[in-house]
Amino acid sequence: MTPTAYMTAGSPYAQQTLAEPSVGKSRKGTICCGCSLLIFVLSSIIAFLSAAVIGLAAGTGIEASRANDVANQLAVLNSSIATSGPTKTTTVTAAATATSWNDLDNGCSDNPTSITGTTYTSFSLLGGLKFTMYCNKDAPGTPYMSLFVANMNTCMDACAAYSKYIPTFFGNNKNTTCAGVSFIPLWTNKANATAGGAPGNCYLKPAPQNATALEDPNIGTECHAAILAGNS
């Protein structure tokens, strides 16, 4: 992989909007209008699941597969309503709850100066390595690997996993230690990654890394870095 693999962002920086999760209820005749208790109960469940589907669909990875499961349950319930009586009076709308970049990058998008310099401890079973975060920075070096991860924290977990497992195959050397990451929130969405020619939203970077050597991102969208704490 060459560094140019993620040098192109298709479109200029555009923050995703965070829609308030206002669950609009326009339910005609909640329990009257000949609506049986069964249908009312099923309708309520569908309303809840609809909101869940839309919310989960905004996420990635595990959340997306959960959204799929919920969507399947919803389809089953929906068909049971369709066949359980002639009085179908339910109109359910639910607003989407989109995931903002700020939710993905620990606050780097909205509060870069207060997040820069804070540390994250990677998952305990991956060594509990500490990473210092630097918002709006790019860790230099040709990536070992590009990945799609759920958020910046799981990107740092992936870096810790690399350093935990790669030496078991290739021994301990300069190339088997991940010293930092670059995380690009826009590319968490695979459509956006495709548009930007990016094979991931998380790039594992080689040693050495240090705070002063971090680069200013030049990829047309936000990029946040983290490096192993202890590396000055």
Ligand X SMILES: *[C@@H]1O[C@H](CO)[C@@H](O)[C@H](O)[C@H]1NC(C)=O
Cβ proximity to ligand X: between 51 and 157 the closer is 51
Cβ proximity to ligand X: between 137 and 157 the closer is 137
Give the residue among 140, 125, 128, 150 at the shortest CA–CA distance from 61.
Answer: 150
CB of 164 to ligand X, least distance (A): 18
* 110: three-class secondary structure by DSSP: coil
Which stretches of the chain bind ligand X, using CB under 6 A? 10-11, 14, 74-75, 78, 82, 173-175, 186, 189, 191-192, 195, 208, 210, 212-213, 232
Cβ proximity to ligand X: between 149 and 186 the closer is 186
Cβ proximity to ligand X: between 110 and 123 the closer is 110
CB of 125 to ligand X, least distance (A): 27
CB of 166 to ligand X, least distance (A): 11
| CA distances (Å), origin 73, targets 49, 68, 70, 85, 184 | 8, 9, 5, 19, 33
CB of 24 to ligand X, least distance (A): 16
Give the residue among 109, 102, 202, 119 at the shortest CA–CA distance from 162.
Answer: 202
Cβ proximity to ligand X: between 121 and 189 the closer is 189
Q: Which residues contact 108 (CB under 8 A, 6 or more apart)?
A: 102, 115, 116, 133, 135, 136, 152, 222, 224
CB of 160 to ligand X, least distance (A): 20
Residue in the block written with tokens 């670059």: 182
Give the residue among 140, 151, 105 at the shortest CA–CA distance from 216.
Answer: 140
Q: How far apart are CA 188 and CA 150, in angstroms?
A: 7
